[in-house]
Structure 1
Amino acid sequence: MKAARFYDQKDIRIEETTPQDLEPGTVRIDVAWCGICGTDLHEYLDGPIFCPTHDTPHPISGETAPVTMGHEFSGVVAELGEGVDDLEVGDHVVVEPYIIGDDVDTSSNNNSYHLSPNMNFIGLGGRGGGLSENIVVRRRWVHKISKDIGLDEAALIEPLSVGYHAVDRAGLAQDATGKFALIGGAGPIGLLTAAVLKAAGATVVVSELSSLRRQKALDSGVADYALDPTEVDVSDEVHKISGGEGADVAFECTSVQVVLDTLMDAVKPTAKIVVVSIWGERSKFDMHKLVMKEIDLRGTIGYVNAHPATIELVESGKVNLKPFITGKIALEDLIDEGFDTLINHNETAVKILVSPSGKGL
């Protein structure tokens, strides 16, 4: 089967590879669509980061480079391993793409399994990936979805879960009625975080340089206001819109220092700021401002027991994922039409989906 394989920095190859063996307790999935994530771009430009090297196997998967990429994907159940009796061939599914040690409790009783030692992701640390025609995944990480949801939209459930967990870290996933939220950066994760906040009842403002992404935030209905930080003072505007109070909560989705500084100014005293982005270097953080405003600064990574609630948001119609799909490409065009667009022309795209099999294009 065809797959996109990470060999090294700026070395991803589309090649034939052998399908994984179906083992007891696993599910074979024919991949329908796989999204290109910012993490994939970081691996391509600066990696290996999550991906193993040629010489150092990942501690849990045991795999070295090359590894198959892709962790935002949807598909159809093609084959069931021994002991899997609660799914059927033909079911539509998405995957919670974790690689976690066998000694870790991954049940709903544990809300920190995503923070366990050596945690990694399918499609980065090994165990196959969504940028291949099919994949074998342990049953625990496979989530059935309604066939009423398009499989293209379903590929965005994984990044939507990131947004859900971020909002949950702020304590607002169930009810954000009356809350004023500011999002720094309207890339895919920023927009999807906004979608979760709107579904929970918040008033949402996004700050974003790209006019296309600002318009996408407004047209999709996930933001009430979209500000251009080159034209307005975002903090002043947020205070005006919020009646002088400032934002109750803010989400940093860029890993850019000036954005974090802006959020610090724009939130009201006792507000929460959730850092969603992955920072590649230390922040020059204004600790004095945090103290004097009693700001609660929180980190968030991935998701934990969030997929069921996230899927319910989509199945119930509270979140519409269609507007965020801005491109669909074949696996062979991954670098030229996918990575190149998102690296060099990212203001023109939100989420680009890849069809490993070519079906649906």
Structure 2
Amino acid sequence: MRAARYYDRGDIRIEDVDEPTVGPGQVGIDIAWCGICGTDLHEYAEGPIFIPPAGHPQPISKESAPVTIGHEMSGVVYAVGEGVDDVKIGDHVVVEPYILHDDVDTGPDSRDYHLSPDMNFIGLGGYGGGLAEKIAVKRRWVHKVDPSVPLDQAALIEPLSVGYHAVERSGASAGDTALITGAGPIGLLTAAICKARGLTTVISEPSPLRRQKATESGVGDHVLDPTTTDVVAEVRALTDGRGADVGFECTSVQPALDTLLDGLRPTGKLVVVSIWGHPASVDMQKVVLKEIDVRGTIAYVNSHPATIALIEQGKVDLAPFITGRIGLDGLVDEGYDTLINRNETAVKILVSPSGAGL
């Protein structure tokens, strides 16, 4: 089968690899769609980060570059391994793409398995990936999705779960005002979760296309261009001078972080969602004098079931955020190049590894 393989920074190759063996306790999935994630772009342009460099195996998977990539995947079950009796061939599924030690508690009440030692992700740290025609995954990480949800939209459940966990980390509740910097995929999907939970959203984004997506999709109640608007002044005007209750940093850009510190009300919560590939500076005096809580967030933890339920209940519409569909051969030229060098022209680009979805 064909797969996208990461060798090193700037070096991704489309190669023929063996189809996976579906072992006991595993589920075999025909990949329908796989999204290109911001983490993938960081790996391509600045990595390896999560991807283990050649000769330095990941402690759990024991793999190192080259590895098959892609972790935002949806597909259809084609095989189930021995011991799997609650998933059947033909089921529509998505993957919660974790690589964890076997002794980590991942039960329904666990709130920290995503922070366990040596944690990594399928499609980054080994165990195959969604930018391949097929994958075999442990049953624990496979989540069924109602067939009424189109498989291309289902590929966005993984990044939507990132937004869900970020909103959970914020402690925000209905009636609060959220300031979101960045209307890329994670910013928009975080805003979608905020709207589904009854928050008022203010989105700051310089790209006209992404501002348009924020408005047309309905996830942005107030969508601002920071190059022409004083975002902090506008947020204060919208909140009777108080400032936003919660802020989500979704850009890894210093001015956006500064805007959030200024735009939050005293005792507000600042949640850093984006992956920063470089150091940032924080005005600690503002943190102290406003008693701002700064909270990091990584991925998700038992977030997929609730996230899927929001979609199946019609509380989140993922269709507006898909702006491109390509085949595996266009991954670098049509996918990565667009999202790295012309990201103002796209939001979420999906890849069909087999080409069947095109």
Class of the TM-score when normalised by the shorter of the 2 chains: over 0.9
Secondary structure in structure 1 of the residue aligned to 2:136: strand
TM-score, length-normalised on structure 2? 0.99
> Do residues 288 (structure 1) and 322 (structure 2) align?
no
Match of 1:132?
132
Is 1:197 the counterpart of 2:194? The answer is: yes
CA distance in 1, matches of 2:46, 2:174: 41
Tell me the equivalent position of 2:227.
230
Q: Give the match for residue 184 of structure 1.
A: 181
Q: What's the counterpart of residue 266 of structure 1?
A: 263
C-alpha distance in structure 1 between counterparts of 2:284 and 2:174, whole Å:
30
Task: Tell me by how many angstroms 1:47 deviates.
Answer: 1.3
Residue 39 of structure 1: aligned partner: 39
CA distance in 2, matches of 1:271, 1:130: 38
Q: Which of 306, 309, 312 matches 1:309?
A: 306
Q: Structure 1 stretches of 5 or more lacking a match?
A: none
Q: What is the RMSD computed on CA atoms of the aligned residues?
A: 0.7
Once the 2 structures are TM-superposed, how far is the Cα of residue 162 of structure 1 from its aligned partner?
A: 0.1
C-alpha contact (below 8 Å) 2:104/2:113 kept by paired residues:
yes
Larger deviation: 277-286 or 293-302? 277-286
State yes or no: 1:75 paired with 2:72: no
Match of 1:13 in 2: 13
Q: Does 2:320 align with 1:323?
A: yes
Deviations 1:324-348 (A, max 9, x none): 0000000111111001110111000
Assess if the C-alpha contact under 8 Å between 2:128 and 2:135 holds in 1: yes
Number of paired residues? 358
* Structure 2 counterpart of 1:295, one-letter code: I
Determine the structure 2 residue equivalent to 1:143. Answer: 143
Q: Identify the match of residue 346 of structure 2 among 349, 354, 360.
A: 349
Alpha-carbon separation, structure 2, partners of 1:227 and 1:99? 38
1:287 shift after superposition: 0.7
Greater Cα shift, 190-199 or 224-233? 224-233
* Aligned equivalents of 2:313, 2:44: Cα separation in 1: 36
Opposite residue 109 of structure 1, the aligned amino acid is D
The structure 1 segments of at least 4 consecutive aligned residues displaced by more than 4 Å after TM superposition are: none
Distance 2:240 2:214 in 1: 22
In structure 1, what residue type is equivalent to 2:18? T
Task: Report the alpha carbon displacement of residue 21 of structure 1 after superposing the two structures with TM.
Answer: 1.3
CA contact (8 A) 2:160 2:307 kept: yes
Task: For 1:209 and 1:245, locate their aligned partners in 2 and report how far apart those are by CA, in whole Å.
Answer: 24
Within 1, Cα distance between the matches of 2:36 and 2:280?
A: 27
Secondary structure, aligned partner of 1:204: strand
TM-score, length-scaled by structure 1: 0.98
Q: Which runs of 5+ in 2 are unaligned?
A: none
Structure 1 residue matching 2:219: 3-state secondary structure: coil
Q: What is the one-letter code of the residue matched to 1:116? A: S
